[in-house]
């Protein structure tokens, strides 16, 4: 077993135009002051990184890594969540998702997809240049608008959707494989990979690609009423990244899993800061440690109530308190005695 690394923090939700949130160096110093040991870097934000430059220049990648290290931190993973979303977009969402891409590809879905695929490939190259072995992203979605279908889905639609998703991702997965980096899909509502079954459907289409791995985030499973602890039993060998994000689900006589088109604060299911929701993180950290998870515990702040800076401050301690330092000996070693084959045969009476 391995002691989980941490605490880490995903920087995406904290970046802003004012210090200390407006540059990689200043936000890293802020994170270090709160007790964090690692940062997960969003690659779409130029305040943090120039992804193409990090992919094409080992010198620049080393500079970014060195800057983070000088602040007393490590880079846990790079993230291409927004770019990964754009690998597959149903036309119903074109206008909304154009905002994730540069203006040069707006109103041009084909060019936007090509840009996103290239971004993912840059992500593989940059990760390798920084000595990282896991990369966080989304799968994108062609089918999400049909998840609760009316009228009913035509025969073969789901299979066709996953074939196309796999067709788009296979070259990316192969590129990551060439660079020795795992693609960690965050299983998430709004993506075609939103639970265990959809992940398995995708795996089948990409021939169980060894790089098609998982970012485990239990908060998304609370909102689906999915057993997030048993999920680890099923997929622990594919879990290569971990977001510590809390959630709660409190249905009423007026709303349930669909949320009634309400704001996050007024939904039955909503995200919370670590420790404020219903996720049993003691069980999660125990399971992941038992299964020898070798990655980072990274706090992702998404709370509809608590201020982000308070969530960040509390999150570092929360993760530290849940990381289990693994034992190097059995608890009953003191009562043991040497053994050999002859001794064992005597015990068995043979």
Which tens digits make up the pLDDT trace of 290-330? Answer: 999 999 999 999 999 999 999 999 999 999 999 999 988 88
Tokens of residue 265, six digits: 């604060």
What pLDDT does residue 334 have? 72
Q: Name the DSSP letter for residue 188.
A: -
Q: Tell me how far CA of residue 100 lies from CA of 85, 96, 142, 193, in angstroms.
A: 9, 8, 17, 19
- Residue 75: which H helix or E strand, with range? strand 74-80
What pLDDT does residue 339 have? 77
Tokens of residue 146, six digits: 């049909």
Quote the pTM value. Answer: 0.96
Q: Are 175 and 211 in contact (CB under 8 A)?
A: no
Q: Are 140 and 165 in contact (CB under 8 A)?
A: yes
What pLDDT does residue 112 have? 98
Cα distance between residue 122 and residue 127, in whole Å = 8
What pLDDT does residue 328 have? 86
Q: Average pLDDT for consecutive 10-residue bins of the chain (350 residues)?
A: 97 97 98 98 97 98 98 98 98 97 98 98 98 98 96 97 98 98 98 98 98 98 98 98 98 96 97 98 98 98 97 98 92 76 89
What pLDDT does residue 51 have? 98
What pLDDT does residue 347 have? 85
Mean of per-residue pLDDT scores for the chain: 97
Q: Would you list the DSSP string of 7-69?
A: EEEE-TTT--SSTTSSSHHHHHHHHHHHT--EEEEETT-TTT--HHHHHH-HHHHHHHHHHHH
What pLDDT does residue 332 have? 72
Domain 5-348 CATH superfamily: Divalent-metal-dependent TIM barrel enzymes (3.20.20.150)
């Amino acid at each position: 077993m391995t002691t989980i690394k941490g605490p880490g923090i995903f920087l995406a939700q904290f970046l802003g135009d004012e210090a200390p949130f407006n540059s990689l160096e200043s936000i890293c110093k802020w994170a270090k002051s709160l007790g964090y040991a690692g940062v997960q870097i969003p690659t779409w934000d130029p305040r943090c990184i120039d992804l193409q430059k990090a992919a094409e220049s080992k010198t620049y990648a080393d500079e970014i890594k060195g800057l983070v290290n000088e602040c007393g931190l490590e880079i846990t993973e790079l993230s291409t969540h927004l770019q990964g979303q754009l690998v597959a977009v149903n036309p119903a969402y074109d206008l909304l998702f154009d905002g994730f891409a540069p203006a040069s590809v707006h109103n041009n879905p084909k060019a936007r997809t090509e840009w996103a695929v290239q971004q993912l490939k840059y992500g593989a190259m940059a990760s390798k240049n920084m000595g990282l072995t896991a990369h966080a992203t989304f799968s994108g979605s062609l089918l999400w608008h049909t998840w609760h279908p009316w009228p009913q889905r035509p025969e073969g639609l789901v299979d066709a959707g996953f074939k196309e998703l796999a067709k788009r991702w296979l070259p990316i997965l192969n590129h990551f494989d060439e660079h020795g980096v795992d693609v960690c899909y965050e299983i998430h509502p709004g993506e075609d990979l939103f639970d265990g079954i959809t992940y398995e459907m995708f795996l089948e289409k990409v021939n169980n690609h060894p790089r098609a791995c998982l970012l485990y985030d239990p908060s998304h499973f609370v909102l689906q009423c999915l057993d997030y602890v048993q999920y680890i039993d099923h997929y622990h060998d594919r879990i290569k990244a971990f977001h510590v994000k809390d959630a709660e689900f409190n249905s009423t006589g007026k709303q349930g899993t669909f949320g009634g088109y309400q704001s996050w604060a007024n939904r039955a299911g909503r995200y919370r800061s670590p420790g404020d929701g219903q996720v049993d993180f003691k069980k999660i950290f125990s399971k992941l440690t038992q299964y020898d998870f070798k990655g980072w515990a990274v706090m992702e702040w998404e709370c509809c109530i608590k201020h982000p800076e308070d969530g960040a401050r509390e999150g570092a301690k929360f993760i530290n308190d849940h990381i289990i330092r693994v034992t190097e000996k059995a608890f009953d070693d003191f009562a043991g005695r040497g053994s050999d084959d002859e001794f064992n045969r005597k015990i068995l009476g043979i």
